[in-house]
């Protein structure tokens, strides 16, 4: 999914389970790099794909994310949805055995599991919180039978989970990024006028914060609250951002 599509869907994504019905003017704020024709084309594409739906019940175009759009977004941003398996401390471990002829060095599979946010413990050993994503499961069934073992567990018998996972998941980097975004967001929100009074510089700053937040959320597998409950949370920052921008349209 391209960045502009992610921008639209994330802004429409529910806050605390409550659906959002957002005016088209609000979404224009996050699509500054597109012409008006380009923005309308993007919205039509998302409607055609049934990721969002549009109405003009109040005389202006308003948009809402669909259940299909939510599901697609949660695949790309796992931290958006609380996974019961992840919350209960369940893990899937992949053990690479003997490589098949089609992928003699496991290069394709390594790329696949890392792109799906598996944690590399060591060469040929990967961890994923909860059940493996469907993309990995289907690939294992199709290409890697007898070449890979998958084990699920929910208890660590030996070894410090906080140290091992904390080192492999790069939590410190994520916390640092979220902290920086949070400070800048706090400063920005205290100065925002209503939308019609926003300067081009303020619009650019809003977009810069949003882009960096999206980038950080893409790399967040949703484990940060489990190991660092006091640290800034990406989803909370996203909701704070959306609520702050909403206010500029409600002055």
pLDDT-above-70 percentage for the chain: 97
Going by C-alpha positions, the residue among 26, 34, 36, 47 that lies closest to residue 4 is 34
Is CATH 1.10.357.10 correct for 3-76?
A: no
User: Looking at residue 87, what is its pLDDT?
Assistant: 61
Average pLDDT over residues 104-121: 92
Nearest alpha carbon to residue 101 among 165, 147, 149, 159: 147
* Percentage helix, strand, coil for the chain under 3-state DSSP, each rounded to 5: 55, 15, 35
How many Å apart are CA 217 and CA 219, to the nearest integer? 5
Q: Could you say which DSSP state residue 129 is in?
A: E
Strands (E), the chain: 22-23, 52-55, 62-65, 91-96, 119-122, 125-129, 148-153
Q: How many C-beta neighbours within 10 Å does residue 66 have?
A: 17
Alpha-carbon distances of 38 from 5, 33, 35, 44, 230, rounded to whole Å: 12, 9, 5, 10, 41
Handedness of CA 67, 72, 75, 76 (dihedral sign): negative
User: What would the mean pLDDT of 173-201 be, rounded to a whole number?
Assistant: 88
Residue 22 and residue 12: Cα distance in Å, rounded?
A: 7
44-49-52-53 Cα dihedral, nearest 10 degrees: 70
In 3-state terms, what secondary structure has residue 137? helix
**What CA–CA distance (Å, rounded) separates 62 from 55?**
6
**Which token pair is 81?**
């949805």
- Is 86 a residue whose pLDDT tops 70? no
- The SS3 assignment for 155 reads coil
pLDDT at 238 over 90: yes
Give the start-to-end residue ranges of the domains of the chain.
Answer: 3-76, 91-153, 166-248
Model confidence band, residue 114 (pLDDT cutoffs 50, 70, 90) = very high
Average pLDDT over residues 13-41: 91
Assess whether pLDDT exceeds 60 at residue 63: yes
Bridge partners of 120, per DSSP, are 126
Least confident of 61-65, 67-71, 148-152, 199-203: 199-203
Q: What is the pTM of this model?
A: 0.84
What is the token pair recorded at 195? 């939308």
Say which residues have a Cβ less than 8 Å from residue 90's Cβ, sequence separation at least 6: 129, 130, 131, 152, 153, 154
């Amino acid at each position: 999914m391209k960045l502009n599509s992610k921008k639209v869907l994330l802004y429409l994504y529910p806050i605390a389970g409550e659906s959002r019905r957002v005016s088209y003017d609000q979404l224009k704020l996050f699509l500054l790099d597109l012409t008006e024709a380009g923005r309308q084309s993007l919205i039509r594409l998302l409607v055609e794909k049934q990721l969002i739906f549009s109405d003009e019940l109040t005389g202006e175009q308003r948009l809402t994310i669909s259940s299909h759009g939510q599901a697609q977004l949660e695949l790309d941003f796992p931290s958006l949805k609380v996974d019961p398996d992840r919350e209960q401390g369940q893990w899937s471990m992949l053990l690479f055995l003997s490589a098949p002829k089609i992928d003699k060095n496991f290069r394709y599979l390594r790329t696949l599991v890392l792109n799906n946010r598996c944690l590399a413990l060591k060469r040929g050993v990967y961890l994923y919180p909860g059940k493996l994503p469907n993309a990995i499961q289907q690939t294992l069934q199709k290409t890697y039978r007898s070449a890979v073992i998958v084990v699920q567990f929910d208890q660590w018998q030996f070894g410090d989970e906080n140290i091992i996972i904390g080192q492999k998941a790069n939590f410190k980097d994520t916390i640092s990024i979220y902290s920086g975004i949070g400070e800048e967001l706090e400063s920005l929100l205290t100065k925002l006028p209503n939308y019609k009074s926003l300067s081009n510089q303020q619009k650019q700053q809003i977009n810069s914060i949003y882009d960096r937040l999206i980038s950080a959320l893409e790399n967040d597998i949703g484990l940060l609250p489990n190991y660092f409950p006091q640290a800034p949370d990406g989803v909370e920052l996203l909701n704070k951002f959306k609520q702050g921008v909403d206010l500029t349209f409600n002055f």
